[in-house]
């Protein structure tokens, strides 16, 4: 397992060993013992989405009962974005962009961050584990194209849900202490 730190403290890229042969490949997609050496968390829920090309999901977070997310793109290619919403952080309001297009690569998004992704290929399958359950009443959306964030998405006219169209800019959104 290879660990790569990003510019946001706590957000890391985890690359697992991929065993290839003439039959295909094998990945140990989750090993609690191995991940415990890197992450001191307990996962309670698995989620899976399939998105067509040019779909943007996010930037989502839960203001109460924040979720840590272990994200992987099982099939296809996504541009994944994480924004630090912890007001006490020296990186508050900053973001990191990670390309995910291989099932052996995972992105750890700790609680306190907004998360979203843009699909670069059709039928991109994204799977992620969470450290807390989904609570609709605490669900928030940070505006994906807030000029104060200056995120370089690949599209200026992505396919968005109604919820994502109504996201709040950084100066108005709920934040973490």
Q: Could you list the active site residues?
A: 60, 128
Handedness of CA 78, 105, 111, 123 (dihedral sign): positive
Taking the CB of residue 112, how many other CB atoms lie within 10 A of it? 20
Helix (H, G, I), strand (E, B) or coil at 142: strand
For the sheet with 78-84, list strands across it.
95-100, 78-84, 113-119, 56-62, 139-141
Q: How far apart, in Å, do the first and last CA atoms of the chain sit?
A: 33
Q: 69-84 in b/e burial notation, b at 16+ Cβ within 10 A?
A: bbbbbeebbbbbbbbb
């Amino acid at each position: 397992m290879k660990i790569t730190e990003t510019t946001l403290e706590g957000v890391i890229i985890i690359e697992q060993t991929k065993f290839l042969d003439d039959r295909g490949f094998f990945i140990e997609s989750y090993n609690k013992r191995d991940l415990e050496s890197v992450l001191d968390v307990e996962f309670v829920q698995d989620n899976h989405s399939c998105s067509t090309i040019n779909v943007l999901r996010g930037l989502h977070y839960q203001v109460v009962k924040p979720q840590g997310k272990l994200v992987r793109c099982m099939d296809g290619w996504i541009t994944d974005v994480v924004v630090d919403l912890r007001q006490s952080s020296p990186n508050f309001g900053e973001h990191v962009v990670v390309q995910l297009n291989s099932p052996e690569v995972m992105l750890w998004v700790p609680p306190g961050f907004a998360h979203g992704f843009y699909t670069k290929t059709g039928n991109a399958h994204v799977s992620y584990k969470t450290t807390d359950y989904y609570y609709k009443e605490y669900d928030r959306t940070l505006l994906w194209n807030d000029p104060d964030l200056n995120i370089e998405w690949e599209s200026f006219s992505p396919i968005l849900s109604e919820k994502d169209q109504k996201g709040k800019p950084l100066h108005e959104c709920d934040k973490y202490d």
